[in-house]
Amino acid sequence: MLIEKRLSKIAEITNSRQFGKDLSFKNISIDSRSIKQGDLFVAIKGENFDGHDFIDQALEKGAVGIVSEKSLSKKLNYLKTKNNLDFLKILAQENRNMFHGQIVAITGSNGKTTTKEISYLLLSFLTDKKSVFKSPKNWNNELGLSLSLLGLNRKHKIGIFEIGTNRPGEIYSLSNFLKPDYGAITNIGRSHLEKLKNLDGVAKEKSDLFINVKNKGVCLARIDNKYRKLISKKAIGKELKLLGNETKDIFDLNFEVAYLIVKEILNLERNSNLNLSEIKKRIQENLKIPGRMEKINGPKKTTILNDSYNANPDSFLAAFEFISKLKYKHKILVMGEMGELGEKSDQLHDLVIQKATKHFDFIFCVDINSKIKSEKIKYLSKSDIVMNLARFFDKQTLILFKASRSVKMETLIDLI
């Protein structure tokens, strides 16, 4: 963090009331489970939890101070606020204002996290790794972006962030908060259709990123030609680079966007000795993202691909294309529900299941109802999956697990 890590300074910036001693702290955390000695714990209220219930746990783990919306014991060192999310947003905005390096913002229906991770690895290989910051995990909503921005410090010269959306206006709000020098849209796909309605709605929402890219900044997008006019209008005053929707391997698609981002940042035209094939190989060896085409050794050397972090129709089809090139005696899909698809949800699930029959020997649909019938398909509950899979465990078998995050497909993988 660029801001001085002292309770009195934080209170001044956020207009909070300070109680107890004026102490320094190491880091800010909202998770009492991962608190470390010397941290400042911010008690956030969520839909299913209230951080105020875990204040004692945070103190036991070594938190030196608390940020609370409630009055606490006079014996404690704490800051009292009206709203702890607003507290984090104000602090994050101040830290962003103090950062004078280059900022990258990445959005898209698929590939945000992977493109961010590849960009980070590329920059780490080509420049000083300590000067590059990336937002953790997939922290791409309002809370996640605020926490991520607090990670920028004086050593960093480049910050790479992903931003996501599930409702109109969210990309504009987050990108306006971030004010990036570089903006990238990985693709426009069928995601979050419940509130974004259709592909046009997705394109309108995602392209709002370019409105908030700084003047003379760089905007990069992989889009269909039908959205060229829309994208161009929002990127006025910036350098716009458009990519087509070529059929490529998932990794290659994300690598291409990441490489173009890094090429702009580092002006790589000057470097004629860059061995891209060697760099791609190094990145593939080092790229490990939990829940995203994560390769796991299963029972009896069965290959398990864990792509359970999230799902929409286009990411399913991209995964199918990737798996079609792999050589295994048996290919099995364990498919969970895709969320937030709106009124076309049944139709899109049917589409994906029908496509799956062309790529897999067996398809196990977990808690899904569909009209698609095939001797390859079984519609099962979660409790039945492990028993049905056991007979296929073999080094010549590949099993893909994929579903939206809400399904918690990783719990099935853990059982196996």
What's the pLDDT tens digit per position in 54-108?
A: 999 999 999 999 999 999 998 999 999 999 999 999 999 999 999 999 999 999 9
Residues 269, 120, single domain; the answer is yes
Query: What is the pLDDT averaged over residues 122-126?
Result: 93
Whether residues 357 and 216 share a domain: the answer is no
pLDDT at position 46: 85
Shared domain for 247 and 348, answered yes or no, is no
At residue 245, does pLDDT exceed 80?
no
Q: Are 72 and 52 spatial neighbours (Cβ–Cβ below 8 Å)? A: no
119 and 259 in a single domain? The answer is: yes
At residue 6, the pLDDT reads 97
On the question of pLDDT at 398 being above 60, the answer is yes
Residues 171, 344: Cα–Cα separation, whole Å: 23
CATH number assigned to the domain comprising residue 38:
3.40.1390.10
pLDDT at 273 over 70: no
Of the candidate ranges 37-41, 206-210, 248-252, 339-343, the one whose mean pLDDT is the lowest = 248-252
Residues forming beta bridges with residue 67, ordered by sequence position? 42, 79
**What number of residues does the chain have?**
416
CB 67 within 8 A of CB 54: no
Under the banding of pLDDT at 50, 70 and 90, the label for residue 415 is confident
Question: Are 208 and 337 members of one domain?
Answer: no
Average pLDDT for 125-152:
94
252-260 average pLDDT score: 93
CA angle 157, 162, 168 (to 5 degrees): 135
Note the pLDDT of residue 251: 87
Contact 348, 190 (CB under 8 A): yes
Q: Using the predicted structure, report yes or no on whether residue 296 has a pLDDT greater than 60.
A: yes
Q: What pLDDT sits at residue 271?
A: 52
Judge whether residue 270 has pLDDT over 60.
no
Question: Is 91 within a domain?
Answer: no
pLDDT at 310: 86
Per-residue pLDDT of 303-318, as tens digits, reads: 999 998 889 999 999 9
Q: What is the pLDDT averaged over residues 40-54?
A: 93
User: Of 21, 51, 83, which residue is a domain's last?
Assistant: 83
Whether 12 is covered by a domain: the verdict is: yes
Average the pLDDT over 113-134 and give the result.
95
Do residue 254 and residue 166 come from a single domain?
A: yes
Q: What is the dihedral of CA 138, 139, 140, 143, to 10 degrees?
A: 160
Mean pLDDT to the nearest integer, 141-161 = 97
In a domain, 92, yes or no: no
pTM tops 0.85, yes or no: yes
Find all residues with CB under 8 Å of 260, minimum gap 6, and list them. 184, 220, 241, 243
Which residue, 301, 307, 348, is CA-closest to 328?
301
225 and 299 inside one domain: no
C-alpha pair distances (Å), 23 with each of 3, 40, 90, 150, 151: 14, 10, 20, 18, 20
- 160 with 193, same domain: the answer is yes
CATH number for the domain that contains residue 359: 3.90.190.20
Residue 285 tokens read as 């060896």
Query: In Å, how far from its chain's centre is CA 58?
Result: 27
Tell me how many domains the chain contains.
Answer: 3
The DSSP output letter for 65 is E
* Mean pLDDT, residues 244-261 taken together: 86
Instruction: Please say if the pLDDT value at position 22 is more than 70.
Output: yes
Q: Do both 61 and 179 map to the same domain? A: no
Whether 241 has a pLDDT exceeding 60, the answer reads yes
Dihedral of the alpha carbons of 351, 356, 362, 368, in degrees to the nearest 10: -30
| Statement to judge: residues 345 and 278 lie in one domain | no
Whether residues 259 and 310 share a domain: the answer is no
Could you tell me which residue, 229 or 277, shows the higher pLDDT? 229
Q: With 70 as the cut, is the pLDDT of residue 269 above it?
A: no
Choosing from 225, 257, 286, the residue where a domain stops is 286
Boundary-marking domain end, from 249, 269, 286? 286
Whether 262 and 333 map to the same domain: the answer is no
> Please, are residues 293 and 325 in contact by the beta-carbon 8 Å criterion?
no
Range of the domain at 379: 294-415
Q: What pLDDT, on a 0 to 100 scale, did the predictor assign at position 292?
A: 87
Across residues 169-184, what is the average pLDDT?
Answer: 97
Question: Of 347, 327, 355, nearest to 335 (Cα)?
Answer: 355
